[in-house]
Amino acid sequence: MRLVLVGPPGAGKGTQAEFIAEHFRVPKISTGDIFRANVSGGTELGQRAKRFMDAGDLVPDVVTNAMVRDRLAQPDATDGFLLDGFPRNVAQAGELDGILDEIGSTLSVVLDLDVDHDEVVRRLSGRRTCKNCGHVWHVEFDPPASENACDKCGGELYHRDDDSPETVRHRLEIYAQQTAPLVQFYDNRSQLVAINALGTVEDVTERAIDALTPFAD
């Protein structure tokens, strides 16, 4: 199974990626994990990426592409992988085609987690983060016993700026601009499968596995 996972912020990609990768016995590879591994490992690519990150700039595609190329060449990805966060746009999709061609592989399928934008705002804007331990609560789905204190450590809870409804809607606008063409790109190549990402984690996982199983080698 060589899979790309796409979906808007708040669709549950990180959670679903864990369960899907475990089910199909492939490594979960996220751009965040790749960046952290390269930066903490002090690799040449990590040092290049860190310069941009420290300046508050986006890491250029050329650096991200090189990191993905290195990661997919590692032995554990030989028989499959799940990519989360890459590609982000059509240009990166072309790069992924080239990377896979270099290693004699092809993409199996792209899974799109489809969720209404109003639901995304509801999910993300209700999050409250502990200043002490970093645990994330939700005022509706997972509320703490006390409104302003963390059940785990008693730390103060706060509403992150990037979880405000206005910021979430802006992030969704950016996602639509960058990733909607990517979804259409894979749909035109008959490589896209979309599932409804509403419901419990277990329900969405079951839908995902049912949709992906026909593409497993």
User: In the prediction, which pLDDT does 56 show?
Assistant: 76
Alpha-carbon dihedral angle through residues 136, 140, 142, 144, given to the nearest 10 degrees: 80
Q: Where are the domains of the chain?
A: 2-115+175-215
What is the structure's pLDDT at 1?
A: 92
- 71 catalytic residue (yes or no): no
Find the catalytic residue in 69, 88, 122, 169: 88
> Of residues 36, 51, 131, 160, which has the active-site annotation?
160
pLDDT at position 137, please? 93
Please state, in angstroms and as integers, the Cα–Cα distance from residue 61 to each residue in 45, 64, 87, 107, 109, following that order: 12, 5, 10, 20, 22
- Provide the pLDDT for residue 217: 72
Q: What are the strands, taking DSSP E only, across the chain?
A: 2-6, 28-30, 81-84, 109-114, 127-130, 136-138, 157-158, 192-196
Look at residue 162 in the predicted model and tell me its pLDDT: 84
Q: Give the Cα separation of 73 and 199 in Å (integer).
A: 36
Alpha-carbon distance 158 to 127, whole Å? 9
The catalytic position among 71, 123, 127, 128 is 127
Q: Note if 50 is an active site residue.
A: no
Q: Select from 3.40.50.10580, 3.40.50.300, 3.40.50.150, 3.40.50.720 the CATH code of 2-115+175-215.
A: 3.40.50.300
DSSP calls for 76-127: GGTT-EEEES---SHHHHHHHHHHHHHTT----EEEEEE--HHHHHHHHHTE
Residue 61: predicted pLDDT: 87
In this prediction, residue 32 carries a pLDDT of: 83
| Options 48, 71, 123, 171, the catalytic residue | 171
88: annotated active-site residue: yes
Catalytic residue among 2, 13, 71, 123: 13
Predicted confidence at residue 175, as pLDDT, reads: 87
Averaged over successive runs of 10 residues, the pLDDT of the chain (217 residues) comes to: 93 92 95 88 91 82 91 92 92 94 92 92 91 92 91 94 89 86 94 94 95 91
C-alpha dist (Å) from residue 107 to 30, 50, 115 = 16, 29, 24
